[in-house]
Amino acid sequence: MKTPEVKTLAFRPEERNIFFHLLTGCNLACRHCYINREQHGTEMVSRETMITWLKLFYEPAKESNVIFLGGEPTMHPDLAFGIKKARELGYASVTVDTNGYLFHHLLERISPDDAVLSFSLDGPDAEVNDPIRGAGVFATCTANLQKAVGLGFKTSLIYTVSRLNLDHLPRMPELLADLGVNRFFIQVIGLRGKSAGDEAGLQLTPAEWLETVPAAAAKAAGLGIPTIYPKVFLDKGEKFECAGRVAENFFIFPNGRVYRCPLGEDHPIHSLEIKDDRLIKRTELNEDRFFELQIPEGCVMNRLLQAGNIPYGPDSAPLHRISCCLLKQAVGL
Ligand code: SF4
Ligand code: SF4
């Protein structure tokens, strides 16, 4: 069989992506949860705020996309309303990142044209997934995913790879094909929330990532499922670009903080904030300053947050440059 082509998805300046955290609450307590309530509070945006902020970030001159997140966004009673409003405002695409519980009868309140549903699952069976995401989660998530597919929704699945489930990633493509999932996103374990600092020992080595992830992605693509995963390591001579400088991504939290880079979300270094429904540029030391720095290791934020993860050669030069965490590779697309 022909090996599917892997391409790097360059940043698109004509696109604007809004990652809208509607609330920080969740019905689950995943071992690697990235939510930090100390930093982002426990509030839920009101229906009025949801609409005002959707309008605030909509840019008619660009392809504006919104991704609704939480916590668990389907716990918000007005999510269906917000999805329809976003479409009405002109957002080119709406995605809901869900843990699969689909509260408030979401599937009955929106149509397949309104939104793509992106389910999170961290194992190909309950034995692998449930110790990470909670008892009974695999069964509920896969049942609701099948229901959504049956109703004609476009679906994707996000698998967060850590030390806990790396070995089971190669078994995911068959499951996705059986479930009828349209797209597969492989995500690297984050540096935020519970997995920050790696006290939990979840982080992967470069070798582990490179040996397993591209092969699993190629296998999924071979089964007809386009797969997207973070680039992580730049090839020799490949250009480094920081999305904070060359792309338009906004990570919005219910307490009004707006980050341009998700890696800094455990810290009060957001470059923007929403005050009285206006977007304000912060003047305090913030992530903006890091975006400007050029270092041999590539991404500055990665260097600051997990310096120990970058191996160096005898000449003290880094063996790998780390790409922007938002730079993706696609196979089968
Ligand atoms: S589903 Fe998401 S928000 Fe909820 S506990 Fe898991 S990682 Fe955290
Ligand atoms: S991950 Fe690194 S390169 Fe990407 S936006 Fe953040 S600081 Fe910039």
Distance 120 CA to ligand 1 centre (A): 9
User: DSSP class of residue 17?
Assistant: E
Q: Judge whether residue 4 has pLDDT over 80.
A: no
Classify burial at 325, counting beta carbons within 10 Å of its beta carbon; exposed 0-12, middle 13-18, buried 19 or more: buried
Q: Which of the residue ranges 1-15, 150-164, 228-242 would you say has the lowest mean pLDDT?
A: 1-15
N-term to C-term CA, the chain? 17
For residue 251, list its beta bridge partners: 19, 259
Q: Which of the residue ranges 71-75, 147-151, 308-312 would you say has the lowest mean pLDDT?
A: 308-312
pLDDT for res 197: 58
User: DSSP class of residue 23?
Assistant: B
Average pLDDT over residues 141-153: 98
Q: Which of the residue ranges 57-61, 193-197, 212-216, 227-231 would you say has the lowest mean pLDDT?
A: 193-197
Q: For 77-107, write each residue's pLDDT tens digit.
A: 999 999 999 999 999 999 999 999 999 999 9
123-150 burial, b at 16+ Cβ within 10 Å, e below that, comes to: bbebebbbebbbeebbeebbebbeebbe
HEC profile of 124-178: CCHHHHHHHHCCCHHHHHHHHHHHHHHCCCCEEEEEEECCCCHHHHHHHHHHHHH
Q: Judge whether residue 9 has pLDDT over 90.
A: yes
Average pLDDT over residues 286-315: 87
Q: For 159-173, write each residue's pLDDT tens digit.
A: 999 989 999 999 999
Percent of the chain scoring above 70 in pLDDT:
95
Q: Judge whether residue 236 has pLDDT over 80.
A: yes
pLDDT for res 192: 62
Which CATH code fits 6-238+323-331? 3.20.20.70
Q: Is 324 in the pocket of ligand 2 (CB under 6 A)?
A: yes
pLDDT for res 207: 82
Asked if residues 69 and 79 have their Cβ atoms less than 8 Å apart, the reply is no
At residue 188 the predicted structure's pLDDT band, cuts being 50, 70 and 90, is confident
User: DSSP class of residue 324?
Assistant: P
Q: Is 326 in the pocket of ligand 2 (CB under 6 A)?
A: yes
DSSP 230-269: E--EEPTTPPP--HHHHSEEEEE-TTSEEESSGGGTTTT-
Measured on CA atoms in the order 130, 134, 136, 139, is the torsion positive or negative?
negative
**For atom 7 of ligand 2, which residue has the closest CA?**
301
Average pLDDT over residues 96-123: 98
Q: Judge whether residue 198 has pLDDT over 80.
A: no
Task: Please identify, by atom number, the ligand 1 atom nearest to the C-alpha of residue 24.
Answer: 3
Q: For 252-269, write each residue's pLDDT tens digit.
A: 999 999 999 999 999 999
Ligand 2 pocket test, pick from 11, 241, 326, 327 with the greatest ligand atom count within 8 Å of Cβ, gives 326
* Strands (DSSP E) found in the chain: 6-9, 15-21, 63-69, 93-98, 116-120, 155-161, 183-188, 227-230, 233-234, 248-252, 257-259, 272-275, 278-281, 321-322, 328-331
Q: Judge whether residue 136 has pLDDT over 90.
A: yes
pLDDT for res 209: 87
**Residue-averaged pLDDT of the chain:** 93
- Helix, strand, coil % (nearest 5) of the chain? 35, 25, 45
pLDDT for res 235: 84
Count of residues making up the chain: 333
pLDDT for res 200: 61
Please give the Cα distance from 122 to 286 (Å, whole number): 33
306-315: long-range contacts (C-beta < 8 A, 24 or more apart)? 306/191, 306/198, 306/203, 309/203, 311/206
φ/ψ of residue 225, rounded to 5: -110, 105
Q: Judge whether residue 196 has pLDDT over 90.
A: no
Amino acid, res. 305 = L
- Single pTM value for the model: 0.95
Distance 195 CA to ligand 2 centre (A): 18
At residue 151 the predicted structure's pLDDT band, cuts being 50, 70 and 90, is very high
User: DSSP class of residue 198?
Assistant: G
pLDDT for res 193: 63
Q: Is 250 in the pocket of ligand 2 (CB under 6 A)?
A: no
Average pLDDT over residues 152-164: 96
